[in-house]
Structure 1
């Protein structure tokens, strides 16, 4: 049994698409392929989001930015359906009486997604359409993830498929407290300011115009934004972390997807199934060796998770030592199982 089999056990097997849906999707994909100017890059095998050691687990979660050439965090994306030998990425709520794809989200087109820009725009429109009630200051944001551990901090994930873990975290909406399960016990922790912010008032105040949101992100990068590539790479990681760790106002979530759309180098990758659920994989190559991917549900266009994979051998050298990745090593593989507003820490459903 490998790591994908273990992760896949967390979900029921999805029902196969109807024959009419497969045929319609295949025809649409071939039509798009003939006209598309954007290349769909081949799939890459990517890693799970791992928490760094026990000490880091006690802090409020934050995005970890790269230093000294060592990539400390990465953002990722999941999978797509395979029909008749052709990889098809399709947001579908079934088919109509003519066998044509029907959207599962009102106002969002159905059928195959042609490129990263279209996928991110669908995710933005879907976010805008979802009902939302802002949390009270005394409520908590609960998130639950399933991923695989690494053997060393920031290094490749262990190849042992048994090193799967579930991480649960609570952040009070006002940002003043956090909580997690440690050694089977719920622990309430203090918090510190984070980059990006993790308290709901700061998140709700983020710009909702994509250009302004990118400018906001660039201002927070410090020395990491001194080069164009450093600015793009770190902002991609930062915005992905905001999507990953929070329950967001619809306009803010939509702006995040549209801002990511404007970051150069983000491409729709051929999907891979990393957790028993198909997903859209939106990837960006960082430092020429690490493919970082953001994972989006192809039906509802909600955030699913992240992963990263080395596309070639690489050794990173930094203040804390050297880390070696071999081609195909995973650095992150994380699937978000739940994200909800709850009334108290320890609660896992509204």
Structure 2
């Protein structure tokens, strides 16, 4: 650091130096991969008193439902969340407060280092007939539509996502709360389902590998894809925020989709160009793991989302979202989302795990698929 640097700039440099780990001296194991998939999911108890709700509108998968026992038309759809059971978040640190006109230098440097580590992770070979497997901790949000949310206890979730280029109707399988639930394109009874091709709404490994690796070109591509999706759903202009929508989309891509190293690095470098991205010096995922975070405030929804990374290895750990002001979902500081990725891998069949050779023979739950037809995914 230049000895002549003083004042706020010097303080910022010192704070960043304290927060960031030393550069990794070896490549990370295959588990260091990123991810997404917006699984629109809803589980309603038979007594009708419990309903899932989503804390924010998600950009992806507007026409896909997860057929599950108790699925009801007109009920609130939810991207399943993950949380430790804690219902409030700690007060944000000075490093993570407020949306800025441009991304602060500290966040840009952190994301650049994360990108460098991600680029060194192992390249995967994934064929169209394989599945991406992800094990994570998940929870639901309970509450009435329009009312305060309450986070349930964390539960383990496993997902198997097909890597076929498509279009496909049967997209994979979810195992949670003791049930196997097929992921299928959902349409009203009697109508023919139209499958999704690989793309932003169904990001396969090979599709992700085809994305531009130049950060500026990647941002332009994401903007185009997001705008096309919003136009197809007639999303009002007042509900659009290019910077926040891009940040949310990248966050979705970090969860349940195995990420090619070069694409991961490009996504992180692209995120560094998003205005308002800040550093969260201490964030905790659903497994209780502390890490350093990359955060952004959503002024529309009144919440802050943080991507959490291991402070030493810079491995992606999970995500958390909490309210930064009082809203209909709860009081300021209340958690609405907390997740933790525990394992990722590539397998050859549904229900197979990276550590096993053969899939389970247990039959899936008998919930009626949203297509009105019996499931054939298992």
TM-score category of the 2 structures, normalised to the smaller one: 0.5 to 0.7
The one of 31, 55, 65 equivalent to 2:59 is 65
Secondary structure of the equivalent of 2:282?
Answer: coil
Q: Distance in 1 between matches of 2:177 and 2:218?
A: 39
Secondary structure, counterpart of 2:137 in structure 1: strand
Instruction: Tell me what 1:127 maps to.
Output: 118
Relative to structure 1, is the Cα distance of residues 208 and 65 closer, same or farther in structure 2, using a 3 angstrom cutoff?
Answer: same
SS in 2 for 1:233: helix
- Quote the residue 1:138 is aligned against: 129
CA contact (8 A) 1:225 1:231 kept: no
User: 1:281 corresponds to which residue?
Assistant: 293
CA gap 1:228/1:271 in 2 versus in 1, 3 angstroms: same
Which residue, out of 244, 247, 258, partners 2:258?
247
Between the two structures, name the one with larger relative contact order (CA 8 Å, sep ≥ 6): 1
Offset from partner CA, 1:39-96 (integer Å, 9 cap, x none): 88xxxxxxxx9964139xxxxxxx92299xx9987999xxxxxxxxxx9x9xxxxxxx
The number of equivalent residue pairs is 260
Does the C-alpha gap of structure 1 residues 179 and 72 become closer, same or farther in structure 2, counting only changes over 3 Å? closer
1:309 shift after superposition? 0.5
Deviation for aligned residue 1:219: 0.7
Residue number in structure 1 paired with 2:359: none
Question: Is 1:36 matched with 2:12?
Answer: yes
Determine helix, strand or coil for the equivalent of 1:272: strand
Kept in 2: contact 1:65–1:71 (CA 8 A): no
Partner Cα distance (1:270, 1:314) in 2: 25
The answer to whether residue 292 in structure 2 is matched with residue 301 in structure 1 is no
- Between the aligned partners of 1:283 and 1:122, the Cα distance in structure 2 is 16
Contact 2:106 2:279 in 1 (8 A): yes
TM-score, normalised via structure 2 length: 0.59
1:174 paired to 2:174: no
The TM-score, its normalising length taken from structure 1, stands at: 0.63
Q: How far does the alpha carbon of each residue in 1:110-167 deviate from its partner, in whole angstroms, 9 at most, with x for none?
A: xxxx82112211111111111222212111101122133210379765255xx22112
Hey, what does 2:31 align to over in structure 1? none
- Cα RMSD after superposing both structures: 3.9
Alignment of 1:94-133 (within 5 A): 115-133=106-124
Q: Distance in 1 between matches of 2:215 and 2:115?
A: 11
Could you tell me which runs of 5 or more consecutive residues in structure 1 were left unpaired when the two chains were aligned: 1-30, 41-48, 56-62, 77-86, 90-113, 316-323
